Amino acid sequence: MEYIQNVKIYHSDTDCYNVVWHGAYAKWLEAGRIEFSEKIGIKFEELEKMNIHMPVVELNLRYKHPAKLFDELEIKTTLHELKKTSATFEHVIKNINTGMVILTATSTVVTTDVNGKLFRTMPEYLYKKYSKIQN
């Protein structure tokens, strides 16, 4: 399963050369992880009530080509790997008009309580939802 979102580049996402600022990608990858998770039935409001947080512990980005002002991008997110303690997502960002891959990335999340204490295993609520769709 995958989640696809489209983004058009505006000035707020670019540097002084009208090239996408590297921090903008992290924002889009977060949106991909959250929307992917919600699409499979994970409710972040419920996670908050259960005192579960999902911090990113690893983020790897490989920049292939620059994205520029007014480009239209497709951001695809999939669940790459599920472990008892973490979930790793794979992201591919392409230029919609050229088909060129702009960036590939992986992001790994773990689960903690509200005080940042790491859970030894992912809470069953999350693990069951992710394990149903693992590639």
The CA-atom distances, in angstroms, between 39 and each of 63, 66, 98, 102, 105 are 27, 29, 28, 25, 20
User: Average pLDDT over the chain, rounded to whole?
Assistant: 96
pLDDT in tens, 89-118: 999 999 999 999 999 999 999 999 999 999
Residues contacting residue 66 through CB under 8 Å, at least 6 positions apart = 19, 20, 102
Q: Which of 32, 84, 19, 93 is nearest to 61 (CA)?
A: 93
The model carries a pTM of: 0.94
* pLDDT higher than threshold 90 for residue 134: no
Alpha carbon dihedral 102, 108, 111, 116, in 10-degree steps, equals -90
Where do the domains of the chain lie, and which CATH numbers do they carry? 2-133 (3.10.129.10)
Confidence (pLDDT) at 27: 96
Sign of the CA dihedral running 20, 32, 56, 91: negative
Average pLDDT over residues 15-37: 97
Give which of 79, 68, 7 is closest to 40, Cα–Cα. Answer: 79
pLDDT at position 133, please?
84
For residue 67, pLDDT beyond 80 = yes
pLDDT (0 to 100) of residue 96: 98
Closest CA to 63 of 23, 15, 4: 23
In the predicted model, is pLDDT for residue 14 greater than 60?
yes
Mean pLDDT calculated for residue range 59-78: 98
